[in-house]
Chain A
Amino acid sequence: MEYVAQQVMNALAFGAEYALIALGLAIVFSIMGLVNFAHGEVIAVGGYTMVAFAALALSNPFIVIGGAIAAAVLMSLTLERVAFRPVRYADPTTGLLTAFGVSIILQNVFLLVVSPRPVAVTSLYFLDWPVRLMGVQVSSLQVFEAVTTVLVIIGLMLFLKRTTLGLAMRAASLDFEMVRMVGVRSNRVFAMAFMVSGLLAGLACIFIMARRGSVDPHLGFNPVLKAFVACVVGGFGSLPGAVLGGFLLGAIEVAMLVLLPQEYGGMKDAFVFGIIALVLVWRPDGILSPRTEKGDKI
């Protein structure tokens, strides 16, 4: 029984990380219709900021965490201004290609300017220690990550439902032209979406770095691919869908990892994506994409 509880906690922790990243993708997609594959590099910018702080002998955890999140937010806003604003009204394929282009360019910048090798940053190791929770031993990091994801979801819901800018973002996700016609500044709405996305990338970066203890040019790319899958399963553009997709993907991954016999271990991803495909056969637009009101993303 303890073993099952342990693996359930592990699945929740995997899911929390995917959900956090998936939310960052979903919020931009819901407003702009852009799948921002450069989100992973925004996470990596946070990691490299920690490297810079370590080089400057700045080890205060609040400075390191605050600096990494600030750098991710700044990078996200910069990408919106420099790369995505010029293609805002272009065909969605152009946006997709731009995102891939930005991702590749940033990866190569990290590679050429810093190093292709993992660069160690151990300043966040202190966040990880064993904790007993309801008779199950878990990592404090897993608890922090799950709690942060829940808080982020609550905070995001409050922001979107209780603030004027949040209301504008929700309206923009339904009918952007109408939002502009009633006098809402489109630049501000887009910038806010990227700012929130950058904030989520920064938070994800903290947990990834605390666990891995190093950064490399591809730090965020694979997690973002997983988060993309989570978004698709949950219903792309739907924030609750992104969260649900993240937790579902985490649960399926852990289940396949522990249930598949060792000789079928190489087929883990095949089984994971096979199950995902079955979910999409059942709900082709994702689980939480409403059939009747496709435009309502939030």
Chain B
Amino acid sequence: MKKLTLTTLTAMSLALPAVAEDTIKIGLGVPMTGDLAIYSEYLGARCMADIINAEGGAGGKKIEVLVQDSAGDTQAAISLAQKFLDEGVVMLGTTPFSDTMIPVAQIAQPYGVSIFQPQSTQVEMHAGIVDNFFTGVSPDPFTATAAANYALSQGVKNVVLLTSDEGGSWSARTPLWFGDVIEEGGGKVLAKMNFSFGTSDWSPQIADMKALGEGIDAVYISSIMPDIGVLVRQLRSAGIDAWVVGSDGFDDPSLDAVAADDPSILDKVFFATLAPSHDESAVVKFMSDCKEIGHDVPGLFPATGADTVKAVAWAVETSGSSDPAVIAETIRNAESIPVMTVDSISFKDTKTYAQRTIPVIGFKDGKRVLISNEIPENTPQDWN
């Protein structure tokens, strides 16, 4: 009996690599807890893997998404990346901030493995420090430009920029790029003011705005909820009827709740974001499809994980290979890669970030509406 058991175990262990080869593994060492958890893509990635597997997998191979919590800690993310690399993943995802993405990319490089971040917009990753990196969205200067173009089309001239160093270039430089495009378009930056994340009282900044003595057409901020909702309400309460403009940090369902009692409060709010997430969008349909098969994907950021899985699955099918370096090269050289959040993306000209349309989302009667969805051509060039 003992001999039989040993034989069985030996046979099973010998069979394991064969099983592994039939599986395409994607490793996500991402924040599932902590402040950064809301930006994680793992819920959408799991759902998309189940959808693809139910349809026969990628080139006949099953997609397996390995997920473990980094809690936003860089060292934990590095350890998880190493663990996933040892388990034979073909693509990695990690905490979407450059101080984590860069070291993770560096340890993945000898394995031929790349990082695919479906939601990272920080420009630091495209400065050439690492090249085994993809971000499924366009960097912040593009979103700032898309927002500025729409603002100019609405007659915006005088703007106030709120900046903070706490979110890196996302919160510090995105407002400046917005200001650059506004000035290029004939507008004027009246003032730049500081803020901190977690601000629940904007009265000092609002007092500064009122003291400017000039009419403010728009206030730009790249920040997070609930701070943005508080800002919108306090500006209106103080009698400042300027547009409130922002980036993907506005893209949280809790912003819509600000208009629960008075839908008009969001009439002059719009933001440029990663992907359309209004009622008829592919993202909302995906979330609904996921719900039907038992996955709760609560919002755009979690949904973006679908892009990681779909891009990898497409590369495996197209190249017929499960080699991580071949998969990365296939993605990098493709004219068009189908993803979930938009019809397609491409890295051919840009190398590390996706060339894609930038949706600008506004509100009508408290509901999100897609205002524009184009690739801006007048993006500032001082970021790379």
Q: Is B260 a contact of A262 with CB atoms below 8 Å?
A: no
Task: Find chain B residues with CB under 8 A from A268 CB.
Answer: 194, 196
Task: Find chain B residues with CB under 8 A from A6 CB.
Answer: 203, 207, 210
Q: Is A120 a contact of B257 with CB atoms below 8 Å?
A: yes
With A119-B254, A258-B204 already in contact, the answer to whether A212 and B194 are too (CB < 8 A) is: no
Give the contacting residue for B207; candidates A10, A128, A211, A260; CB below 8 A. Answer: A10
**Would you give the shortest CB distance from B225 to chain A, in whole angstroms?**
5
A213 CA / B201 CA spacing, docked (Å): 12
A128 CA / B258 CA spacing, docked (Å): 13
A225 CA / B141 CA spacing, docked (Å): 35
Contact with B along A200-226 (1 / 0, CB 8 A): 000000001001111010100010000
Q: Is A10 a contact of B298 with CB atoms below 8 Å?
A: no
**Stretch in B82-90, B234-242, B334-342 touching the partner:** B234-242
A262 CA / B190 CA spacing, docked (Å): 13
Q: Which residues of A, 113-149, contact B by the 8 Å Cβ criterion?
A: 115-120, 122, 125, 128-130, 137-139, 142
Task: Find chain B residues with CB under 8 A from A266 CB.
Answer: 164-166, 172, 194
Q: Is B261 a contact of A125 with CB atoms below 8 Å?
A: yes
Does A111 touch B at the CB level, under 8 Å? Answer: yes
Q: Is A216 a contact of B234 with CB atoms below 8 Å?
A: no
Does B208 touch A at the CB level, under 8 Å? Answer: yes
Q: Is A13 a contact of B203 with CB atoms below 8 Å?
A: yes
Q: Is B203 a contact of A208 with CB atoms below 8 Å?
A: no
Give the contacting residue for B257; candidates A122, A139, A216, A258; CB below 8 A. Answer: A122
A73 CA / B210 CA spacing, docked (Å): 40
Task: Find chain A residues with CB under 8 A from B201 CB.
Answer: 10, 13-14, 17, 142, 211
Main secondary structure of the interface of A (DSSP, over half): helix
**Would you give the shortest CB distance from B103 to chain A, in whole angstroms?**
23
Task: Find chain B residues with CB under 8 A from A112 CB.
Answer: 33
Q: Is B257 a contact of A213 with CB atoms below 8 Å?
A: yes
**Would you give the shortest CB distance from A20 to chain B, in whole angstroms?**
13
Q: Is B254 a contact of A7 with CB atoms below 8 Å?
A: no
Contact with B along A1-39 (1 / 0, CB 8 A): 001001101100110010000000000000000000000
Contact with A along B242-266 (1 / 0, CB 8 A): 0000000000111011101100000
Task: Find chain A residues with CB under 8 A from B253 CB.
Answer: 117, 120
Q: Is A213 a contact of B233 with CB atoms below 8 Å?
A: yes
A210 CA / B246 CA spacing, docked (Å): 23
A14 CA / B200 CA spacing, docked (Å): 10
Q: Is A213 a contact of B33 with CB atoms below 8 Å?
A: no
With A3-B207, A3-B211 already in contact, the answer to whether A111 and B37 are too (CB < 8 A) is: yes
Task: Find chain A residues with CB under 8 A from B210 CB.
Answer: 3, 6
Q: Who on chain B is nearest to A260 by CB? A: B194
With A118-B254, A137-B238 already in contact, the answer to whether A10 and B233 are too (CB < 8 A) is: no
A269 CA / B198 CA spacing, docked (Å): 13
Does A87 touch B at the CB level, under 8 Å? Answer: no
Task: Find chain B residues with CB under 8 A from A117 CB.
Answer: 38, 252-254, 298-299
Q: Which residues of A, 218-277, contact B by the 8 Å Cβ criterion?
A: 218, 222, 254, 257-258, 260, 262, 265-266, 268-269
A interface, CB within 8 angstroms of B: 3, 6-7, 9-10, 13-14, 17, 108, 111-112, 115-120, 122, 125, 128-130, 137-139, 142, 208, 211-214, 216, 218, 222, 254, 257-258, 260, 262, 265-266, 268-269
15 A-B pairs besides A117-B298, A257-B194 with CB distance below 8 A are A7-B207, A13-B203, A14-B201, A117-B254, A120-B254, A120-B256, A120-B258, A125-B261, A137-B239, A142-B201, A214-B225, A257-B204, A258-B207, A262-B163, A265-B164
What 3 pairs across the A-B complex have the smallest Cβ distances?
A265-B194, A120-B257, A266-B165
28 A-B contact pairs sorted by A residue (CB < 8 Å): A3-B210, A6-B203, A6-B207, A7-B207, A111-B33, A115-B298, A116-B33, A117-B298, A118-B225, A118-B226, A119-B254, A120-B226, A120-B229, A120-B253, A120-B254, A122-B258, A139-B237, A208-B200, A211-B200, A212-B230, A213-B229, A214-B254, A262-B163, A262-B192, A265-B165, A266-B166, A266-B172, A268-B194
